[in-house]
Amino acid sequence: MFSRDAWKEIFETIQKNKLRTFLSGFTVAIGIFIFVVLYGFGNGLTNTFAKFFGDDATNVFFIFPGRTSVPYSGYKANRQIEFDNDDLADIEKNFAMFVDYITPRISRNGLVKYKNESNNYGNMGVAPSHQYSEKTIMMKGRYINDQDLKDKTKYAVIGRLVERDLFKDEDALGKYIDIGGSSFKVIGVFQDDGGDNEERKIYIPYTTRQLIEKNTDKIDQMVLGFKPQIGYSGAMSLERSLEKYLKSKKFINPNDENGIFIRNIADQLKQNQQLASVLQLIVSFVAFGTIIAGIIGISNIMVFVVKERTKELGIRKALGATPKSVISTILLESIFITTISGFIGMLLGTVLLNAMGDTLEDYFITDPYIDTGIAVFATILLIICGALAGYVPARKAAKIKPIVALRDE
Amino acid sequence: MIEIKDLHKSYKMGNNSLHVLKGINFNVKEGELVAIMGSSGSGKSTLLNILGMLDVLDEGSYTLDGVPIVDLNETKAAKYRNKFLGFIFQSFNLINYKSAAENVALPLYYQGVGRKERQEKALKYLEQVGLKQWAGHLPSELSGGQKQRVAIARALAAEPKVLMADEPTGALDSKTSYEVMDLIQKINDAGNTILIVTHEPDIADMCKRIVHLKDGVIVEDKIVDQVRASQYV
């Protein structure tokens, strides 16, 4: 069955029946190709989701003040809630078991000038631990520290793109920039994986910001990093008790949805990951549909091939071909073609995925790839199904009496 | 060489069964050139198919070169065909994507003969039928007579005990028919046993013995004076 002669016979048959070879090969190659590409896109989609939420810490709550919607304990509805420095301290004290760090955020927007260059940037009054929640990476210099908070220093940490825009080729460290009319010394330059907007920001000590604004103690919002060990359920219960605590502290009706907002990244991340995996599931389903279509295609072609060869097989049988040799001729031929073209399709698909890389990032597909194991499995599945699909008509053909096959139409 | 005793064969056609061969007794000795004649429906092709192990008999016995042909399964039939028989068909039945030489070499492939020897033998038999220079051509590049001669070379290549020809000249004009018959006569002269099914009397007259079939029985079996085809070529 695997003699050199048998293979030579098969090669000759393949060479001399180019259309047939092409048709069956093409079906298999295109099936595998589409499978690989679709599956790769699915993985690319998952990558995008991972990347979206990968740049910020995931053990973080964002706490925003809102306006009350119902009157409560003597206060009217539609009251603006505000946070101040006491709230920071109280949370840190009361939830010390769970809280890793807490930092305020006071966001302002304004013109920033250096020499003749100026531009509008968002600046943010923060505490040192804000570096962890944003996963800010220092390129040079340092981040804001506790001493800066205490001394209310006019120090600024600027983003990579701010430095590029304002300083061109100059080194920004130690230079003074004008932020909304006050002069700040640049003590650090950072980068951030979250994209260009993240790198067009300026961080200053929040105490400095409060000093500039008439020595207020108000803060815009709070970012709370909880200890990762408390896990997903711990985070959810922390969120609930935190909300309850703040509502009672600020005299908000416990059922009022609008007084305080807590955005829980862990919860969002989980939902998004679920969405991504559902998408991946759908894409995989479509991809396997392609494989099924490929199997049906190759089966059809095998039936057609055997039908077309009935007379030839009759001749071969009259010349002394045994049923076994008839079946093995057809099967080996089909396995050979599907194997070669299957791996060609797989290779082309993989090469295409690699070549695309980041070009489809705008369509939420990042670094599409396919596990070699899955690609090989799909290819082998198609080969086996092609062989099975060929076996049934081949066995039938081998059973046909030569006189029937040779009868002149 | 061939011994047939009390051969019966019927085909099922729906609910009816069609009794095609109704008790045939028939012997062929080595070196004979026998024409089997009869009108269509007389059972001559069925007889040849059974002799050629392309079909199985219902009743009776068949012995070929001292080997009783019984319990034929497909594999066994294929081996016997390969070893004992060479076929020549009306429509040539060459494999259209194989060259003349490859067609001739095919039965040798199924005999398990090595590649080199196959090629040598194929060329030898093509030379014998006068087509050596056409060895590399595809059947579509050959005339009808040439195709039939390739088919004869193929039948000879396996060095069979008996050659069976089913209307070998049926698709050829008379001049080409005589050329083919001339070739068949020469092969017979060399000692090969040949059976020819035909309905053309002039072709039958070129054999050494004529068997007439009618309605499934042999009505006449006579030795004739062979007309040499070479005089018409």
Give pLDDT, residue A57: 64
Best mutation target among B11, B74, B76 (most A Cβ atoms within 10 Å) is: B74
What's the CATH code of the domain at B170?
Answer: 3.40.50.300
The answer on A240 and A95 residing in a single domain is yes
Distances (CA, A) of A25 to A32, A328, A377: 11, 18, 18
Give pLDDT, residue B62: 92
| Contact assignment for A401 to B95 by CB distance below 8 Å | no
Residue B124 inside a domain? The answer is no
| Contact assignment for B74 to A406 by CB distance below 8 Å | no
Nearest chain B residue to A8 by CA distance is B115
Give the helix/strand (H/E) hosting A46. Answer: helix A18-52
Distance (Å, whole) CA A334 – CA A392: 13
Give the pLDDT band (50/70/90) at residue B219: very high
pLDDT in tens, A123-146: 899 998 888 887 888 888 889 888
pLDDT of A2 higher than 60: no
What range does the domain containing B182 cover? Answer: 2-96+144-231
pLDDT in tens, B62-75: 998 888 888 778 88
Give the pLDDT band (50/70/90) at residue A1: very low
Cβ atoms of B165 and B184 closer than 8 Å: yes
The answer on A166 and A88 residing in a single domain is yes
Contacts of residue A14, Cβ cutoff 8 Å, sequence gap at least 6: A21, A333, A336, A337
Residues of chain A with Cβ-Cβ distance to B74 below 8 Å are 317, 322-323, 398-399
Residue A366 inside a domain? The answer is yes
Residue B104 inside a domain? The answer is no
Q: What ipTM was predicted for this assembly?
A: 0.87
pLDDT in tens, A28-57: 899 889 888 888 888 888 777 777 665 566
Q: What is the rounded radius of gyration, in angstroms, for the C-alpha atoms of chain B? A: 17
Residue B81 inside a domain? The answer is yes
Contacts of residue A4, Cβ cutoff 8 Å, sequence gap at least 6: none
Report the b/e string of A78-117 with b at 16+ CB within 10 A: ebebebeeebbeebeeebeebbbbbbbbbebeeebbbeee
Q: What is the DSSP letter of A56?
A: S
| Contact assignment for A321 to B79 by CB distance below 8 Å | no
Residue B137 inside a domain? The answer is no
Q: What is the DSSP letter of A59?
A: S
Average pLDDT, chain B: 90
Residues of chain A with Cβ-Cβ distance to B55 below 8 Å are 401, 403
Give pLDDT, residue A299: 83
Distance (Å, whole) CA A393 – CA A387: 10
Residues of chain B with Cβ-Cβ distance to A318 below 8 Å are 52, 54, 81, 87, 93
| Contact assignment for B74 to A315 by CB distance below 8 Å | no
pLDDT in tens, B15-56: 888 888 999 998 999 999 999 998 888 888 888 888 888 888
Best mutation target among B109, B137, B162, B166 (most A Cβ atoms within 10 Å) is: B109
The answer on A205 and A311 residing in a single domain is no
Nearest chain A residue to B109 by CA distance is A5
Best mutation target among A11, A319, A404, A407 (most B Cβ atoms within 10 Å) is: A319
The answer on A165 and A26 residing in a single domain is no
Nearest chain B CA: its distance from A308 CA (Å): 12
Pull the structure tokens for residue A363. Answer: 């369509």
Residues of chain A with Cβ-Cβ distance to B158 below 8 Å are 319-320
Give pLDDT, residue B121: 93
Best mutation target among B49, B57, B94, B110 (most A Cβ atoms within 10 Å) is: B110
Among residues A217, A249, A281, the one where a domain terminates is: A249
Residue B85 inside a domain? The answer is yes
Provide the domain count of chain A.
2
The answer on A389 and A337 residing in a single domain is yes
pLDDT in tens, B84-130: 899 898 888 999 889 999 999 999 988 888 889 999 999 999 998 98
Residues of chain B with Cβ-Cβ distance to A402 below 8 Å are 54
Give the helix/strand (H/E) hosting B193. Answer: strand B193-197
Give the helix/strand (H/E) hosting B186. Answer: helix B174-189
Q: What are phi and psi of A26, to 5 degrees?
A: -65, -45
Per the DSSP assignment, residues forming a β-bridge with A223 are: A62, A103
Residue A58 inside a domain? The answer is no
Place of tokens 């056609």: B13
| Contact assignment for A319 to B107 by CB distance below 8 Å | yes
Nearest chain A CA: its distance from B62 CA (Å): 19
Residues of chain B with Cβ-Cβ distance to A18 below 8 Å are none
Q: Kindly report which listed range (A35-44, A359-368, B131-140, B147-156) carries the lowest average pLDDT score.
A: A359-368
pLDDT of A318 higher than 60: yes
The answer on A234 and A132 residing in a single domain is yes
Of B219 and A42, more confident: B219
Contacts of residue B69, Cβ cutoff 8 Å, sequence gap at least 6: B53, B62, B63, B80
The answer on A243 and A106 residing in a single domain is yes
Place of tokens 């070669």: A340
The answer on A277 and A238 residing in a single domain is no
The answer on A232 and A88 residing in a single domain is yes
Q: Kindly report which listed range (A135-144, A281-290, A359-368, B107-116) carries the lowest average pLDDT score.
A: A359-368
pLDDT of A283 higher than 70: yes
The answer on A233 and A133 residing in a single domain is yes
CA dihedral of residues A62, A63, A65, A69 (deg, nearest 10): 100
Give pLDDT, residue B211: 94
Average pLDDT, chain A: 83
Residue A391 inside a domain? The answer is yes
The answer on A346 and A202 residing in a single domain is no
Give the pLDDT band (50/70/90) at residue A10: confident
Residue range A359-365: average pLDDT?
73
| Contact assignment for A401 to B83 by CB distance below 8 Å | no
Contacts of residue B216, Cβ cutoff 8 Å, sequence gap at least 6: B19, B20, B21, B22, B24, B42, B43
Give pLDDT, residue B30: 92
The answer on A275 and A318 residing in a single domain is yes
Distances (CA, A) of B165 to A131, A385, B141: 96, 42, 23
Residue A257 inside a domain? The answer is no
Provide the domain count of chain B.
1
| Contact assignment for B97 to A16 by CB distance below 8 Å | yes
Residue range A142-152: average pLDDT?
87
Q: Vertex B42, ends B40 and B44: CA angle to 5°? A: 90
Count of A–B CB contacts within 8 Å? 71
What range does the domain containing A138 cover? Answer: 82-249
Chain A residues contacting B via beta carbons under 8 Å:
5, 8-9, 12-13, 16-17, 311-312, 314-325, 398-399, 401-403, 406, 408
Tell me how crowded residue B84 is: count the other CB atoms within 10 A of its CB: 21
Place of tokens 């090669």: A11
Of B84 and A397, more confident: B84
| Contact assignment for B79 to A399 by CB distance below 8 Å | no
pLDDT in tens, A205-249: 999 888 888 888 888 888 888 887 777 778 888 888 888 888 888
| Contact assignment for A325 to B87 by CB distance below 8 Å | no
Residues of chain B with Cβ-Cβ distance to A15 below 8 Å are none
Nearest chain B CA: its distance from A283 CA (Å): 44
Residue A59 inside a domain? The answer is no
